[in-house]
Structure 1
């Protein structure tokens, strides 16, 4: 994604980054399609559900975060 503009203040040039999830086996946050369903041990049921990587972009002017889901996870 290029030429992103902050939807909060209108600044150009958002800085790319990601959401860190230390508890995830892959180390980064993912967006999972559908409502949260918990398994017998309390964790989220993920089997067979589409998972998307989360790209986060930070505005250098107002620090607002813009997040996008990419189908790679």
Structure 2
């Protein structure tokens, strides 16, 4: 455990995890992409040239609330 505090109920010690992306051509985990979403010619999100960061999720063992953070090191 860690000393992260749940912003919903105040419980200390959140369980680390990640948000899975099981979509077509996915790498298996979700990422945060900087800037407002813009759609390309075929309807998908434009991603080329944008900063991408992996999302780290922490779950409160008491209330189940998720806290999401960007992993700046990954």
TM-score if structure 1 supplies the norm length? 0.90
Structure 2 partner of 1:69: 70
Structure 2 partner of 1:11: 11
Aligned-CA RMSD value: 1.1
Structure 2 partner of 1:42: 43
Greater than 6 Å deviation, 4+ residue runs: none
Establish whether residue 27 from structure 1 lines up as the match of residue 28 from structure 2: yes
- Could you tell me which runs of 5 or more consecutive residues in structure 1 were left unpaired when the two chains were aligned: none
Structure 2 partner of 1:51: 52
- Could you tell me which runs of 5 or more consecutive residues in structure 2 were left unpaired when the two chains were aligned: none
Q: Distance in 2 between matches of 1:11 and 1:48?
A: 39
